[in-house]
Amino acid sequence: MGKEKETATVTEDKKAYMKTSEQSAQDILDAVAKQNKDMKELDDDQRLVIITDFNKKNEGIAEIVEERPDQAFIDQAKKDFEDYQNEYVNLTYELCKGDKALEYAKWLKEWNADHAVAPQNYWIGVLRFDEEITKRIADLEKNEPDIFEMDYGMLTYLYQMMMGPVSIGIEGARWMLENQETYNAILNKLGEHVDMIELIKKKIGVLQIRWSMACQGFKMIITAKNLEDFRGKTATETRPAESEKPKEDKEAKG
């Protein structure tokens, strides 16, 4: 009887192991969410499934190693995310410099006043831009400085307004014909910045995921070497609920 009981136990244990090994990452995450379980409570086999799934989905951007993060890693991941996000918020974007700076500023003032077509509530942006560009022209005329830079707000206003050129009547069409070169030069430069911003946002997302995964007991390494490595790729976080936000590891702190 004892032998039969022992055999049955081994068989049940083997079945349980096979069930775990056959679980997909999503199965494990669903179970974690359903049981309101902490990701740090997963066993080694479940962790391996999660790690393998994450690394496959994020190849070329990031990977999770088997080693668990310590509190120093979690704190650094949080700092890296916050620092890079703050750096992004304070970025300025160069449109042109030298003689072109004043020329383009005056051109944009004319375009905004006479040729910008404002859909919905964009008329507010037209007024604000006129105020800002008037001040910028005054500064450039004093040669302080001889560079035309803009913040994110001005950049997005111009790009969204200029992306779909619109002319009204024959006079508007003639103006567009005469100003194609300047219009396209400015729009192309704006487009370069918008493209770079999309890559920056992807990196911010990856840094946030690293912090979030660290809080859940996974040590993620960013393998992308530069912004271009994020082109055409989107990082996918492995976590039980989309609404979950990074939380500091109170256990490690305590």
Residue 206 is assigned to a structural domain of this protein: yes
Cis geometry, peptide bond prior to residue 240 (ω within 30 degrees of 0): no
Q: Which domain holds residue 116?
A: 93-198
User: Same structural domain for residues 230 and 188?
Assistant: no
User: Same structural domain for residues 232 and 248?
Assistant: yes
Report the pLDDT averaged over residues 173-187.
91
Q: Which residue has the tokens 């992807």?
A: 202
All residues at 6 or more sequence positions from 165 whose CB lies less than 8 Å from its CB, including other chains: 176, 183
Number of domains in the chain: 2
Examine the pLDDT at 252 and tell me if it is beyond 70.
no
Residue 149 pairs with which residues in a beta bridge?
94
What is the per-residue pLDDT for 244?
41
User: Same structural domain for residues 125 and 34?
Assistant: no
What is the per-residue pLDDT for 21?
47
Residue 18 is assigned to a structural domain of this protein: no
User: Same structural domain for residues 37 and 97?
Assistant: no
**Do residues 20 and 46 make contact, with C-beta atoms less than 8 angstroms apart?**
yes
All residues at 6 or more sequence positions from 166 whose CB lies less than 8 Å from its CB, including other chains: 117, 172
CA separation, residue 8 to residues 1, 5, 15, 49, 107 (Å): 11, 5, 11, 27, 84
Report the pLDDT averaged over residues 230-242.
66
- The secondary structure of residue 143, as a DSSP letter, is T
Residue 4 is assigned to a structural domain of this protein: no
What is the per-residue pLDDT for 237?
64
What is the per-residue pLDDT for 159?
95
More confident residue, 232 or 91: 91
Report the pLDDT averaged over residues 157-176.
84
**Do residues 55 and 213 make contact, with C-beta atoms less than 8 angstroms apart?**
no
Residue 15 is assigned to a structural domain of this protein: no
Tell me what the pLDDT averaged over the chain comes to.
82
Distance of CA 66 to the CA centre of its chain: 26
Q: How confident is the model over 74-98, as pLDDT tens digits?
A: 999 999 999 999 999 889 999 998 8
| Residues above pLDDT 70, as percent of the chain | 83
Residue type, 130: D
Query: Considering 152, 171, 198, which residue would you say is the last residue of a domain?
Result: 198
Examine the pLDDT at 2 and tell me if it is beyond 80.
no
User: Hey, how many other C-beta atoms are within 10 angstroms of the C-beta on 95?
Assistant: 21
Report the pLDDT averaged over residues 212-235.
88
